[in-house]
Amino acid sequence: MLRRLLAAGLFIAAGTLVEAVAETYDYIVVGSGPGGAPLAANLARAGYSVTLLEAGLDLGDNKNYSEIYNFIEAGNDEKSRWDFFVKHSEDEAREAKYEKTTWRTADGSFYVGLDPPEGSTRLGIYYPRAATLGGCAMHNGGICTLPNDADWDYIAEITDDDGWLASNMRKYFEKMEANEYLPPNTPGHGYDGYVNTTISDPSFMKQDSDFQKVASQLISHTGGDAGRDVNAADPDRDQATGVFGMASHADRNGKRAGTNTLLKKTLADPAKFNLTVQLETLVTRIIFNWEAGEPSATGVEVLRGSHQYEADPSYDAAKQGKSGRIFARKEVIIAGGSFNSPQILKLSGIGPAKELEKFHIPVVKDLGGVGENLGDNYEAGLQALASKPLNGSTGPFTVFLKTPTARKTRNIQAWCGSFSFEGFWPGFPAEYGPSQYECAIVHINPRSQAGYVRLRSNDPRQMPEINLNFFAEGGDEDLTELLDAVKTFRTALKSVDAPITPFNERHPCPGVNQSCTDEAQKEFIKLQSYSHHATSSCAIGPADDPMAVLDSKFRVHGVKNLRVVDASAFPKVPGAFPVCPTFMLAEKASADILAALAKAE
């Protein structure tokens, strides 16, 4: 009976399985985000039995998650939150200056700031992740921008795999996209995929409103228009600057599209694909056997139950879930994200030998790059208050810049509008009233990827130690580029006519008449930058690179039947927003796996 239920693709809640029956599938996929969800669906649709393991619940029908404009509510919702806390450097004096530092007070609540109540414990810099069916694609802002072509071409170059060339990767975007803002058959776009894409309505530019006046000055200083296609198949796209429409992975009604919706559609398909989704199932370790002296992944160990991971706000160390094992005939595929994928590998004996031995974990494969090379986009912003409440209506729009010291391609993507976004902390964001205006800045291709994810213990329920090591390499160059972007936006805002102006800047140089030095502004940006696009902790690279974890087909070096397919696989941070590149990565992994199966048959 159990096997028939599994074959029917039903959701399995924690604690309902009969332990005496060994679960076996062709593929185990761990994690349901933009890496794992498409891959699991594609393999099931190709005729293979697949189980998808997710530590959280399905919240796809909850409006906090299903409606893209509720992303603030989703990011603060305890039903899905995993509260990670990170560091930005090894310098404790520098860390102590981060204005949104989070503390645990003596009564168990959070305090955010630099003057905590007596008896508080410093937690660090808040970095929420989403434990729910669909992963972080269910709580993000939904911005869908393709990276520079050079980001794809770089992977092809270091691996000698032309499948990674941008000219080839475009087809995966076309496969996944269901475009709703361009005429049918526009080259380079897809219309039948599972990721609906829309842009903010550009018609506000025809209105006589304060927002139109501000946007007009931004266009005057940078070029473009609010309806321009940000993902155009244009050979000069990566040099194009100015205003664009902001594309989101949502339909025209504001409904999120991608991970959760694809899985639900696959499960409900009359073809009855052999996909099983298991919720509240925390993977604790990969199971191996040894063939000809080489480890081969055969399954995973799990804990079944709610709130099993320490990052969960409702975690209780005394309430451990029920242990279980699940086996794979073909492969185990890890898609837990840039924090949890390296943690799972290390707990399973794959990682830097010295670190594993420190925690008495038997070494299966000594791979020094597991958990290293962690990168992220630097995020900052120019925030100011107009001299009057701003009227009109508009969604945010995107601005690309190529600052004077940029390398080969544009290096800044920003989004501007009447909002406040200054990073993450419990209860974020702060609101400053109807006169607030911000251009939030994302730095493309940061020079430093010196961060790490390291174990604190061999307990799979405990969060790892995470340090992003911001600006550790090329810091002054990156800070110069961020400051140059700020200056561009500041000049545009100052050009807006009264009575909207003068703007009273909140940061990085407070006041109406800026007199801050460049050094002071760069210091503010360095201390207060934030991020939420972690990548590269299980990086793709050639076998002779001691820091490479995966080959060009996502296979873990030196381990059979084990892959990692999520944002941790990127050797460098892809563009400004990694969610749609990760969907593309999942499509490539699907194609690679199915092609190998077809060849073997």
Mean pLDDT of 424-439: 96
For the chain, give the longest Cα–Cα distance.
77
Mean pLDDT of 433-448: 97
In contact, 33 and 259? CB cutoff 8 Å: yes
- Spatial separation of the C-alpha atoms in residues 579 and 415, rounded to whole Å: 16
Mean pLDDT of 428-435: 96
Helix (H, G, I), strand (E, B) or coil at 360: coil
pLDDT tens digit sequence for 101-139: 999 999 999 999 999 999 999 999 999 999 999 999 999
Q: What's the pLDDT at 338?
A: 98
- Spatial separation of the C-alpha atoms in residues 316 and 312, rounded to whole Å: 9
Q: What's the pLDDT at 125?
A: 98
Q: What is the DSSP code string of 272-331? A: ---EEEE-SEEEEEEEEEEETTEEEEEEEEEEESSS-STTSTT--TT---EEEEEEEEEE
What is the number of alpha carbons within 13 Å of residue 178 lying toward its C-beta? 14
Q: What's the pLDDT at 8?
A: 37
Helix (H, G, I), strand (E, B) or coil at 463: coil
Q: What's the pLDDT at 3?
A: 33
In contact, 175 and 38? CB cutoff 8 Å: no
pLDDT tens digit sequence for 583-595: 999 999 999 999 9
Mean pLDDT of 555-561: 98
pLDDT reading at 7 higher than 90: no
pLDDT reading at 341 higher than 80: yes
pLDDT reading at 354 higher than 50: yes
pLDDT reading at 9 higher than 70: no
Task: Give pTM, 2 decimals.
Answer: 0.95
Q: What residue type is assigned to position 438 of the chain?
A: E
Closest C-alpha to 332, from 41, 23, 52: 52
Mean pLDDT of 145-165: 98
Q: b/e string for 147-159 if b means 16 or more Cβ within 10 A?
A: bbbbbbbbbbebb
Domain residue ranges in the chain: 85-129, 201-245+378-443+473-528
Average pLDDT taken over every residue of the chain: 95
pLDDT tens digit sequence for 16-70: 333 335 799 999 999 999 999 999 999 999 999 999 999 999 999 999 999 999 9
Share of the chain above pLDDT 90, in %: 94
Of the two residues 291 and 561, the one the predictor is more confident about is 561
- Spatial separation of the C-alpha atoms in residues 332 and 334, rounded to whole Å: 7
pLDDT tens digit sequence for 306-334: 999 999 999 999 999 999 999 999 999 99
pLDDT tens digit sequence for 208-255: 999 999 999 999 999 999 999 999 999 999 999 999 999 999 999 999
Helix (H, G, I), strand (E, B) or coil at 504: strand
Structural class in CATH, domain 201-245+378-443+473-528: alpha beta
Pairing outcome for strands 350-351 and 365-366 = parallel
Q: Is 442 annotated as a binding residue?
A: no
